[in-house]
Structure 1
């Protein structure tokens, strides 16, 4: 049985957080959130890790993450940059940031040749999500049946500001009907709402949302390449336009190209959208270690790189 691939999106600018949160330390021996995701993925059965990064992050990721991983795990790096020609786009567009998470997935194409999972570098998902996705990718995935892990929106919020989530419409057979990116979700008193056109629209706490924990086959690259040029053409004058991952499954479902199983989890997500989130993340990881979910030290001890030389930019 072929082991699936884990693709980690780590090219973000960390604009709201204010630093390179992909390499911030949260565990007792300097472990990052990304370390816990990789640890969970390996024990769930993943065999290769692909980091999608900005090229200038290469030595950071190699020294602080990649070099610590077991030799049994294949590691690769893919660059998300501003070169549009490799995606069939001749137009030159001036931007400060790449084109979003869908564009990041496209950037990993040449390192992926089998069913794979996509996650964010700075989100803590928990082992349950990796186990369910690994089982799906090895037993059920094909070009007509893909998946996402659906978290309850009430388990995915920050106490310090709004978050972006792909809000899912799910049918009675746990298949995705649509997914819509909502970029301003937050708590208001006892409710959860998102802002749209100067209105606040309520979301039930149990609403399934995408945390960018997707299970794809390489078919997704064909779909992305077919949609991306038109997206660029329509948005080349909008420097903040983003080609989101949820746009791809949403299109595939509505066009009858593929179904997406929603793999439910009641795990509590946590992450570092804002600097103020850091203390809560550290405490949450400490509790998981105390409860025996993780060893105190994730990886065998190796030479430690002084991270301070990388974090001042």
Structure 2
């Protein structure tokens, strides 16, 4: 596809929905939070469509297909193109001959790689279980439509103080940002929590403080298909180094961090002061429901996101 053709189409939204939800305990991707059974993922898609996205790609486990179609995909407006990609244990398609026994796939970077066949233009990656708000989608859509290219990509940077759970630790990509709001590095921290009035992350039993306004990645990235080339180059070596570690994960932030440090691409950090909420733990559910109710009461969202689709009996058209 020629460059002008690629950028003339509406950007794609890639939703990572193959997670095992080990801390939550069930398939939170299809947990109901809105008044008509809406999921968090529904609100993200609603905001994305409003902001100008034209296609949605769900990255899921193959056995989850019918659940995702019935609960989410089939309810979306017909004007939105919908596709599904599978994150699985087949490493050969990524140039890895080694057979590795694992209980779960290889993380968010691996999930993005799994969507390659459905992505032909600038795209945004988000988590299925995070509520980001319209501001994030609007800023990213504008960037992807007017600024993105193979050397200029982006992420939405949330303030870490706006992204924590009251019920346990969270994982965030901690960003180092320069004076021009460009990413210098991003490091995945898997154990961030509040301790009294402070925010800390723990690593090997050592706690390090984080300022309240530290920019973090919530896996809200803006890429071009160039990212697949980078991922394919790095992933085989990652598997080689970590094949005996069943918990090793190939994280999305590893890719931009590498690209920035190698001078391959710049990443603009699109700031937002929006308050994130999500369901890392079962105890988060009540707060998420209350937050969505407040947004509906404020007029940010309609009571029912998607109009009920009429079922057409196609048999009436067969005799002509």
Range of TM-score over shorter length? over 0.9
**Matching residue within 136, 157, 163 for 1:129:** 136
**Matching residue within 27, 32, 36 for 1:25:** 32
Q: Aligned-pair distance for 1:198?
A: 1.2
Return the alpha-carbon distance in structure 2 between the equivalents of residues 175 and 302 of structure 1.
Answer: 44
**Matching of residues 80-99 of structure 1 within 5 Å:** 80-99=87-106
Gaps of 5+ in 2: 1-7, 312-320
Q: Aligned-pair distance for 1:302?
A: 4.0
Residue in 1 that maps onto 2:177: 170
**Matching of residues 22-61 of structure 1 within 5 Å:** 22-61=29-68
**Matching residue within 115, 118, 127 for 1:108:** 115
Are 1:195 and 2:199 counterparts? no
**Matching residue within 210, 219, 222 for 1:215:** 222
Give the TM-score, by structure 1 length.
0.96
Return the alpha-carbon distance in structure 1 between the equivalents of residues 308 and 288 of structure 2.
Answer: 23
Residue in 2 that maps onto 1:268: 275
What is the alpha-carbon root mean square deviation over aligned residues?
A: 0.9
**SS of corresponding position for 1:3:** coil
Q: Over alpha carbons, which structure has the higher Rg?
A: 2
Number of equivalenced pairs: 304
Return the alpha-carbon distance in structure 1 between the equivalents of residues 150 and 217 of structure 2.
Answer: 20
Residue in 1 that maps onto 2:166: 159
Residue in 2 that maps onto 1:144: 151
Return the alpha-carbon distance in structure 1 between the equivalents of residues 191 and 20 of structure 2.
Answer: 19
Residue in 2 that maps onto 1:256: 263
State the Cα deviation string for residues 153-179 of structure 1 (Å, max 9, x = none): 000000000000000000000000000
Residue in 2 that maps onto 1:68: 75
State the Cα deviation string for residues 109-144 of structure 1 (Å, max 9, x = none): 000000000000000000000000000000000000
**SS of corresponding position for 2:20:** coil
Gaps of 5+ in 1: 305-313
Return the alpha-carbon distance in structure 1 between the equivalents of residues 203 and 179 of structure 2.
Answer: 27
State the Cα deviation string for residues 226-273 of structure 1 (Å, max 9, x = none): 000000000000000000000000000000000000000000000000
Return the alpha-carbon distance in structure 2 between the equivalents of residues 114 and 102 of structure 1.
Answer: 18
- 1:25–1:192 distance in 2 versus 1, CA, 3 Å: same
- 4+ aligned runs moved over 4 Å, structure 1: none
